[in-house]
Amino acid sequence: MAITITMGIQKGGCGKSTTTGILSHLMQEDGYRVLAVDMDSQGNLTELLSGQPANEFMGKSVLEAMQQRDIKSYIVPVNDHLDLLPANNFLATMPRWIYTGRTYQGETIPAGEKPILVLDQALEQVRDQYDFIVIDTPPSLSEQTTNALCASEYVVVMFECSNWSYSAIPNFMDSVTSANELGNRGTQVLGILRTMNDVRRSDAKAFNELIAEDYPDEVFETIITRKAPIGRLSLYGFNENTELKQALEQYRNFYKELIQRVKGE
Ligand SMILES: Nc1ncnc2c1ncn2[C@@H]1O[C@H](COP(=O)(O)OP(=O)(O)OP(=O)(O)O)[C@@H](O)[C@H]1O
Ligand SMILES: [Mg+2]
């Protein structure tokens, strides 16, 4: 049975999509069967893993998969071990659909009794086919995010070492607690990942330390710094990328820590 992990924080630009993409890459490289789910209408994870514009998946995305209650037909194979449930801008219509039953195509498809569990129930169809399901979320505490949290055993909280990212953490932690209570997966924080750390800035260093003082049991030891090859993954992807080794270097340490925590070692 798959273990589901969501990358989240309602603050934008904290490395959620980059981390979800890299994590799915490292997991499949390790021989795990992985499904990456894009729950952000920006479609950044979709573009990173498929190498195609998110608009290519119009009518063929995670939104239609949930509406048709048919995940399998919407899965896009990335390679032997990695599949993708893509997203595009229409995912922004998900809240209207789950509360009114009206789809963006003008159909009426009731979302069911529990709008917050739509994704969780849909993923049930494929959980036995994967070792891990990893989910990317938008920079908001929207229905897309709460659905992802309720569908997950674990959550990695993304912390870009800055003040506004710091102030986002308490409400996000509360949302994980709510998902634990409202959902069926025992949702819990797996850890806090410090990302995009600017090593030249003293305030970033201070926030690094502050978050470790506030959440000593949660922070991962690995700190991801700002590095051009990591940023350029959005440009070059994972295939035929001559600087892939440099892009993945720090993330390999995070991956090791994550697997240890998941396996309870
Ligand atoms: N460690 C890093 N070093 C340099 N650039 C990075 C790093 N991590 C991510 N980036 C770049 O920073 C930007 C934000 O990263 P990303 O899109 O992964 O964040 P996000 O949290 O998913 O954003 P959003 O909230 O908009 O979904 C992207 O352009 C990405 O390529
Ligand atoms: Mg993103």
Identity of residue 30: D
Amino acid at position 231, single letter: G
Q: In angstroms, rounded to a whole number, what is the distance separating the alpha carbons of residues 58 and 74?
A: 11
Q: What is the pLDDT of residue 199?
A: 87
The H-or-E segment that residue 8 falls in is strand 3-8
- As a whole number, mean pLDDT of residues 10-17 equals 97
Residue 250 CA: nearest ligand 1 atom is: 1
Between the CA of 103 and the centroid of ligand 2 the distance, in Å, is 24
The rounded Å distance from CA 12 to ligand 2 centre is 7
In 56-137, where does DSSP find H-type helix? 62-67, 94-100, 118-123
Helices (H), 190-263: 202-214, 228-231, 233-236, 244-262
Q: Is 221 left (phi over 0), alpha (psi -120 to 50) or beta?
A: alpha
Domains contained in the chain, CATH given: 3-262 (3.40.50.300)
Pairwise CA distance, residues 51 & 60, whole Å: 16
Write the pLDDT tens digit of every residue in 37-92: 999 999 999 999 999 999 999 999 999 999 999 999 999 999 999 999 999 999 99
Q: DSSP 3-state helix, strand, coil percentages of the chain (rounded to 5)?
A: 50, 20, 35
What pLDDT sits at residue 22? 98
Q: What's the pLDDT score for residue 86?
A: 98
* Ligand 1 pocket list (CB less than 6 A): 12-18, 40, 42, 44, 139, 158, 195-196, 224, 226-227, 230-231, 234
Residue of 10, 85, 92, 30 lying closest to 260 (CA atoms):
30
Residue 86 DSSP symbol:
-
Q: For residue 155, list its beta bridge partners.
A: 6, 189
Over residues 115-156, the pLDDT tens digits come to 999 999 999 999 999 999 999 999 999 999 999 999 999 999
Q: Which DSSP state fits 90?
A: G
Give residue-wise pLDDT tens across range 233-259. Answer: 999 999 999 999 999 999 999 999 999
Q: What is the pLDDT of residues 157-212, one digit of tens each?
A: 999 989 999 999 999 999 999 999 999 999 999 999 999 999 899 999 999 999 99
Dist. CA 254 → ligand 1 center (Å): 16
Q: What percent of the chain has pLDDT over 90?
A: 98
pLDDT of residue 140: 97
Of the pLDDT bands very low, low, confident and very high (cuts 50, 70, 90), residue 262 is: very high
Relative to the alpha carbon of 21, which ligand is closest? 1
**Among 14, 58, 34, which residue's Cα sits nearest to residue 166?**
14
Whether the pLDDT of residue 265 is over 80: the answer is no
Q: Which of 155, 156, 150 is nearest to 121 (CA)?
A: 150
